[in-house]
Structure 1
């Protein structure tokens, strides 16, 4: 009997001990499950843009290549077919905009910098339609400088100490009464670069509680123990200037402090300290996610307000990991970032000489492999340009952008440094960066609150989506469930139809939609309309919180600017025609309805009315007049007349009133195409198609439906050809045509073979000086890398 009682007590005790473990497991599993479910429904992309250089004169051409990858794996993706690229001024007003066709996530383009552009620093930004569903801080951005030589250089503005931006960041997020904390800081000057500072932290009695100095790029850290009912200030010195006073973040009476330390080559130590009334022995939960995957999920019990966990580094993914602390209510309490350097593509690139004379051939061997020396084929872009007092060698690098800049908030000075310097100094600088520029692609409240939010902007899986809005005239009330038609006038007949959704939005899924177009948007009715149609801009109206540094141009650069300007204008004068050549996109020129029966009206005796033409020459049609209104019936290929009027178009623009069709002047029509079958176009069904084509394709003065919207609209950008002269004969070398190019080579399509090899060549110009070549790109598996090479050109 005693044995039975003992056994029961032992069993109950075991159950009581395992109960908290089971509850803890449920909480961890619940957070992990919510995280996985959210990210399985939320597709995200990243965009990187290789710009040929960062300093431009008005009248020059800016060249670029777009790389689109999965935001989770950093591998090329074939989701979006369009990238939007813009150049914005410091007020986010667009100077240049383009829609770039993407093939397997890759696209190329160019901008001519207009001579009307003003001096200043600008943002080149890029994103996809899918990315518009998320914060604009996730768009690609790179600062570029544009100078108009016709405008005098701006004298350097004298800066004051107050113009510097200095901020403090408690590790984990908070300062808590009585808990020892590490505080990181970042000091940035007006030019966006880090500045060196030193200082002390004092309390309200002017007692010094900590000292600090910058370590690298304006960042550093210090440790102190804040106390409640105390206020703390940082007394900061920048060089020999007067001291600057900054308040430290507020001290919380209760809360958590998290500290991350490197515990050796294989592990990280996560130390949690808490100040909680009567809850110093509560369970806590730590999750580490890399990209969109939970890599580590651990549970610990606070003991007298403290706990420590060890994380195996090998379990974390490459790049930025977010280590988040939760309580039993699944509330995120603290977060800390950690960076694991990724494996990269090893790119080798070297010119065949270090010095060249003018108009000589430069050959460059390129090789791509992984860190184990295995050859990897790669898709690369290459830019070779002159280094001088105006153009520096600080290009955006694909690896540092995708792994660092795209995952952190704010500007990162020399981001490539953190990937290349795998040593004690690099590790400390990297950890300071993780403490000062925390950022997340998602919010935990969104993850834990339930279903993923619905996307407002659809991925452009097939081509550019032209978006329109249908409302009631005068009220702006959306009109749902109504079909509208979008026609692009021109040699190729393009027509699209869409039905409005509950918000009145219309999405027209275009195909092979290149270059400038005139669009005609209308409903399928021509009577007085109570509806209003608008075509919306596809460019994002959200803007990042990052600001451009102040623009200044030293007057000492006036001579360099004048020389570069003269060279550029001379180059445009002699090679202007070659700079305006574009590749043909090679799209199918056939109309959307395919091939039908064609009538060339000049082959027949001409009649003066369209009714006579259709009755006498087109046997497949029956023209009738009912209640004083014309109707047309198309005889199908089975000999049966279709039930309703066909879709009738003039130069690709629909005309829905058959009386107006009869008003077309047949003497201005060159041909008629007849589709004698039922035709489906999106949500629309047509009982045959008739398309009249005028001699010039301009509708020959025929009045378009007055309720239609007609506007010029740019489709996908046509690709400009890069011009680079070839000096392969003595006559060409001795030619007196000047060659003042400072951009010797640009190629967005350099592909290495299965052995990782390729070779490229170009010729030097008449511009002596030092030149830099930048090679960067990506493999199909997402390995990224870059390489620079230098050579000199002598007279």
Structure 2
């Protein structure tokens, strides 16, 4: 018996090895190319949690940005900068900002200027790296901004509502003589699903199929196309009749059908009118291969059974390849995530008076254990303008972020797990078609070309240098970028064959000025153009017209009053910023010597200052021009002048340096040795710093490019008054806050526990607290709680 068991065990092991070996031999070229392609194309996903979604012009919008690896949703520390834009209905940016990121998270705020008009807007977010891919996969969120101080624009007169009806054969194609499932989606001009009744009519006006949407304007029907016939879809929508064409019918090809096969399996059926042969199934979840199988076509049909446990959570792509390893069908399949973050959050009471303390208890766990989580929390008032958002970090990462276009009511698919929700999510997957993945690039082993680099260390300033004589890109020329100020920042870049310059900056915060120039003693026949770091790609965004109802009038008046009161009485507190804690030392580190000129006898020229006090220089005057030679270890460095700076801006003409007023200079730092600044070789550095950091009135070279340039957003401190004493509670300063609290960094401990507290304002009403976040393992979750405030 023991011998028999050993034989059976050996046969089992050999069978398993054979199966694994066989699978490894299935589509080896596709698997290799697929893995290489995904290794070179790391995908970032962003989610932005805003404090609310409706604002008054003049308010602050608070936000937190989460950046995760597109494959596993774990926080990714690739990009250190995220670009935030607010776009109007014409997709023109009305606000732009750069947000610093660390360990996959960043936060900030935007002041919504009173110049904005009332209407619906879109917040979008992306990284420099994401600009290499389709803008369809940037983060998008609809916002409403109301400006009570300006008359709203007159509503555009619409002659008729426009509808978009699309049909999606399952797998991608209609094939002559083969029964096919066809998904459909009907939306209005704002991207919202509509209800209708429809029928498929052939050339003889016979009805071959009837259909109507199941939910959100989506559904499916089945019919068998005949390429000797022609078909039209006739759709009756309200009092309107639309006639639409169906996709073309292929003479030959493959169709695909995916359905639940029971026993935790998916049944994938492939039908074809082509000769029998082997076909292949390739399944991946967000770029990670999950299953590769082969099957033989028998009498025009092949069936695969996929174990659902093999597929990852979220959206998987199921692709069918023919025997020539060409992709012929594709279908998306959604699996509800098991690994998620469960957040429990509640207040210590259900009702509070005004100016009273609210304590919030928070607990986080995954499906098995308590876990630490990094979260953000907003507490705001619910009213006729402000509603609970249906978009959260969980349904965005697992669903919306992997699909093109708008997903209506994404929370529906997560809050409901019954058969109706399964049918709705199946229709959503059917109406996506071929999604996101470029098989042609994979099969050709095409190495991706990237125009934009990930900003791994900080903001990148891109510029282009052109020869003004030949009007062609200038190759192999060094340019310098300086940031005028008391903190000495200087960067150098060398142009490539396209004339591109890349300045890798670090710790550049707030509004400021940049100066870009070449060594104009040698190079004057060039022009430097600075590129905008913001994306010039735009996706189709359907924004509904904003309409005011009489019920909103009092709410808008309250918003307007609250905004003005906050800006008048708490304006200074709203303009308090956190110290970014950047290194204040110069780019060259600790200087060899520092001369504080007030400690010495003051001379009337910079030339005298250097001759009398700086022992490491020898000043010469040849060919009617001053030069500086740097002495180090009893020898002179190189033959050229050292790098000379005033408040971080290079001065290549020593005559202009010596023309500066030394009484406006506070200190001189001396670096009398060779310094390599990127591609630039510097024979020493002498850095002058003025008292005001304004360059002391010295004129910058006229060939230099001088421009205002926004660095990373400075982080404001959220102002939340504490009414913890009788005096504070009795204060006559009004408090009309409708956002009671915003906390971008709520961290629970290893036991999953955390908490915080804040105070109610003078505004009575129902309030909602929304908390959402991530674990280090990419488990996402959100939760909300409510309470009432009474006077």
Q: TM-score range by the shorter chain?
A: over 0.9
Once the two structures are superposed, the pairs formed by residues 225-244 of structure 1 within 5 Å of their partners are 225-238=224-237, 240-244=238-242
Partners of 1:671 and 1:214 lie apart in 2 by: 75
Structure 1 match to 2:528: 533
Structure 2 match to 1:328: 323
Structure 2 match to 1:11: none
Q: Give 1:100 deviation, angstroms.
A: 0.7
Q: Give 1:304 deviation, angstroms.
A: 2.0
Deviations 1:208-231 (A, max 9, x none): 211222212221111111221322
Q: Is the 8 A contact 1:201 1:232 kept in 2?
A: yes
DSSP-derived class of the 2:763 partner: coil
Partners of 1:633 and 1:475 lie apart in 2 by: 35
Q: Give 1:156 deviation, angstroms.
A: 7.0
Structure 2 match to 1:392: 387
Q: Is the 8 A contact 2:64 2:105 kept in 1?
A: yes
Once the two structures are superposed, the pairs formed by residues 373-772 of structure 1 within 5 Å of their partners are 374-438=369-433, 440-473=435-468, 475-526=470-521, 529-596=524-591, 597-636=593-632, 638-643=633-638, 644-772=640-768
Partners of 2:102 and 2:456 lie apart in 1 by: 11
Partners of 2:571 and 2:255 lie apart in 1 by: 63
Structure 2 match to 1:66: 65
The structure-2 alpha-carbon separation of the partners of 1:261 and 1:476, relative to structure 1 and needing over 3 Å to count, comes to: farther
The structure-2 alpha-carbon separation of the partners of 1:100 and 1:25, relative to structure 1 and needing over 3 Å to count, comes to: closer
Structure 1 match to 2:786: 790
Q: Is the 8 A contact 1:27 1:328 kept in 2?
A: no
Structure 2 match to 1:80: 79
Deviations 1:120-154 (A, max 9, x none): 22111111111111111111111111121123456
Q: Give 1:678 deviation, angstroms.
A: 1.7
Q: Give 1:381 deviation, angstroms.
A: 0.3
Partners of 1:175 and 1:126 lie apart in 2 by: 38
DSSP-derived class of the 1:492 partner: coil
DSSP-derived class of the 1:243 partner: strand
The structure-2 alpha-carbon separation of the partners of 1:574 and 1:438, relative to structure 1 and needing over 3 Å to count, comes to: farther
Partners of 2:321 and 2:159 lie apart in 1 by: 43
Q: Which runs of 5+ in 1 are unaligned?
A: 1-20
Partners of 1:680 and 1:255 lie apart in 2 by: 62
TM-score (norm 2): 0.94
DSSP-derived class of the 1:635 partner: strand
Structure 2 match to 1:205: 204
Deviations 1:163-196 (A, max 9, x none): 2322221111111221111111222233432222
Partners of 2:195 and 2:459 lie apart in 1 by: 48
Q: Give 1:660 deviation, angstroms.
A: 2.3
Deviations 1:36-73 (A, max 9, x none): 11111222211111111111111111111010011111
TM-score (norm 1): 0.93
Structure 1 match to 2:289: 294
Partners of 2:641 and 2:155 lie apart in 1 by: 71
DSSP-derived class of the 2:635 partner: coil
Partners of 1:531 and 1:157 lie apart in 2 by: 48
Q: Give 1:613 deviation, angstroms.
A: 2.1
DSSP-derived class of the 2:580 partner: coil
Q: Is the 8 A contact 2:390 2:410 kept in 1?
A: no
Q: Give 1:744 deviation, angstroms.
A: 0.8
Deviations 1:516-571 (A, max 9, x none): 12111001233571111111111111112333233333354233212221222122
Q: Give 1:695 deviation, angstroms.
A: 2.6
Partners of 2:764 and 2:420 lie apart in 1 by: 38
DSSP-derived class of the 1:615 partner: helix
Q: Is the 8 A contact 2:520 2:703 kept in 1?
A: no
The structure-2 alpha-carbon separation of the partners of 1:455 and 1:97, relative to structure 1 and needing over 3 Å to count, comes to: same
Match of 1:361 among 348, 351, 357: 357
Deviates more, 1:431-440 or 1:167-176: 431-440
Report the RMSD for the aligned CA atoms in angstroms: 2.0
Structure 2 match to 1:346: 342
Match of 2:246 among 225, 245, 248: 248
Q: Give 1:23 deviation, angstroms.
A: 11
Q: Is the 8 A contact 1:407 1:439 kept in 2?
A: no
Partners of 2:158 and 2:499 lie apart in 1 by: 51
Match of 2:270 among 261, 272, 280: 272
Once the two structures are superposed, the pairs formed by residues 151-166 of structure 1 within 5 Å of their partners are 151-153=150-152, 162-166=161-165
Once the two structures are superposed, the pairs formed by residues 20-169 of structure 1 within 5 Å of their partners are 28-153=27-152, 162-169=161-168
Q: Give 1:671 deviation, angstroms.
A: 2.1
Partners of 2:486 and 2:695 lie apart in 1 by: 12
Partners of 2:717 and 2:320 lie apart in 1 by: 53
Partners of 2:577 and 2:75 lie apart in 1 by: 26
Partners of 2:140 and 2:679 lie apart in 1 by: 38
Partners of 1:275 and 1:143 lie apart in 2 by: 46
Match of 2:775 among 774, 779, 784: 779
Structure 2 match to 1:16: none
Partners of 1:395 and 1:474 lie apart in 2 by: 57
Q: Which runs of 5+ in 2 are unaligned?
A: 1-19
Partners of 2:321 and 2:245 lie apart in 1 by: 29
Deviates more, 1:380-389 or 1:601-610: 601-610
Partners of 1:353 and 1:265 lie apart in 2 by: 46
Deviations 1:611-632 (A, max 9, x none): 2222122222111123333221
Partners of 2:333 and 2:294 lie apart in 1 by: 19
Q: Is the 8 A contact 1:53 1:395 kept in 2?
A: no
Q: Give 1:157 deviation, angstroms.
A: 6.7
Q: Give 1:363 deviation, angstroms.
A: 1.1
Q: Give 1:676 deviation, angstroms.
A: 2.0
Partners of 1:261 and 1:661 lie apart in 2 by: 78
Structure 1 match to 2:10: none
Q: Give 1:655 deviation, angstroms.
A: 0.9
Q: Give 1:205 deviation, angstroms.
A: 2.1
The structure-2 alpha-carbon separation of the partners of 1:548 and 1:774, relative to structure 1 and needing over 3 Å to count, comes to: same
